[in-house]
Amino acid sequence: MPPTPRRADEVGALLDRDEDYDEDPIGDPPITVSRYRASIRAVLGVRTPEPGIVASAWSQRETDAFLAGSRATLRLVIEVIGHALTTPPADRGGSGGVD
């Protein structure tokens, strides 16, 4: 079993291989439909992280800012997924990111 992709470029490469498979379906697909669903559910299950031990040196304002930023990031990720699931796919050559 190949190592789990952990960086955006590694996940992107896996998606590229899966798109290539769509063009030339030989062997097993790199990503199955159930894996796509599981990955989306995993993202939807992510919760705002606790600041951790370093937060003991933070002011309440810094802690609040960390938590607000974390919540905003999660909301954006979910919004982007929802958008991607309900709109026509972008060109493969595009950035695929949010500007």
pLDDT computed for residue 45 by the predictor: 95
In this prediction, residue 98 has a pLDDT band, given cuts at 50, 70 and 90, of low
Pair of tokens at residue 11? 């996940």
Residue 84 reports pLDDT greater than 80: yes
The average confidence (pLDDT) of the chain is 89
Which of the two residues, 22 and 3, has the higher pLDDT score? 22
Whether 99 has a pLDDT exceeding 80, the answer reads no
Residue 95 has pLDDT above 70, yes or no: no
Q: What is the pTM of this model?
A: 0.73
25-60 as b/e: b if 16+ CB within 10 A: eeeeebbeeeeeeeeeeeeeeeeeeeeeeeeeeeee
Domains of the chain, residue spans? 8-86
